[in-house]
């Protein structure tokens, strides 16, 4: 049992008797590179492994953790230098100086394909048909 799964089970076992629902989280690979913070979770299988855990666990809800804040609220410096986004980039929201080299040309939208696959398994209990596997790596 992985550590996150251990915590998931603890929350479920504590909350269920009290009528509480549990929302588990899943997140893709993550790193940040700014002068004031610079670290990495070096796990290229994190997203898939976590989805596999959650499909087995079947929590009440699953949240895909993506943005760490909101670039539309003038806080672009906490978003763009962190690479856990799975959606499209919005340069019009502002990119902090130095972050361009870490986000430009790095499309993270293929993570959506991985999530869609596991969402189907989570919701319907069966592996979806894949006609043409998407190319996820260059």
CA angle, residues 52, 59, 28, in degrees to nearest 5: 45
| CA contacts within 13 A on the Cβ side of 35 | 3
| Residue 88 clears pLDDT 90, i.e. is over it | no
DSSP character for 68? S
| Residue 20 clears pLDDT 70, i.e. is over it | yes
Q: Which domain holds residue 87?
A: 22-124
Residue 131 lies in a domain: no
| Residue 70 clears pLDDT 70, i.e. is over it | no
Residue 134 lies in a domain: no
- Average pLDDT, integer, range 90-110: 72
Residue 138 lies in a domain: no
| Residue 98 clears pLDDT 70, i.e. is over it | no
pLDDT of residue 71: 47
Residue 119 lies in a domain: yes
Residue 11 lies in a domain: no
Strands (E), 1-138: 23-26, 30-34, 37-41, 61-64
Residue 137 lies in a domain: no
Residue 129 lies in a domain: no
Give the count of domains, the chain. 1
Residue 80 lies in a domain: yes
User: Model confidence at 56, in pLDDT bands (50, 70, 90)?
Assistant: very high
pLDDT of residue 10: 94
pLDDT of residue 78: 47
Tell me the whole-structure pTM to 2 decimals: 0.74
- Average pLDDT, integer, range 62-80: 59
CA angle, residues 124, 136, 105, in degrees to nearest 5: 130
pLDDT of residue 60: 96
């Amino acid at each position: 049992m992985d550590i996150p799964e251990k915590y998931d089970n603890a929350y479920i076992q504590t909350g269920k008797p009290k009528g509480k629902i549990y929302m588990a989280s899943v997140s893709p690979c993550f790193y940040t590179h700014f002068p004031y913070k610079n670290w990495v979770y070096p796990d290229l299988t994190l997203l898939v492994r976590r989805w596999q855990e959650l499909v087995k666990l079947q929590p009440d809800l699953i949240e895909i953790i993506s943005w760490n804040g909101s670039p539309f609220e003038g806080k672009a410096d906490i978003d763009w230098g962190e690479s856990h986004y799975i959606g499209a980039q919005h340069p019009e929201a502002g990119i902090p100086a130095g972050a361009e080299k870490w986000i430009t040309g790095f499309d993270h939208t293929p993570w959506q394909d991985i999530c869609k696959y596991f969402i189907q398994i989570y919701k319907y209990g069966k592996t979806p048909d894949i006609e043409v596997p998407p190319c996820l790596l260059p």
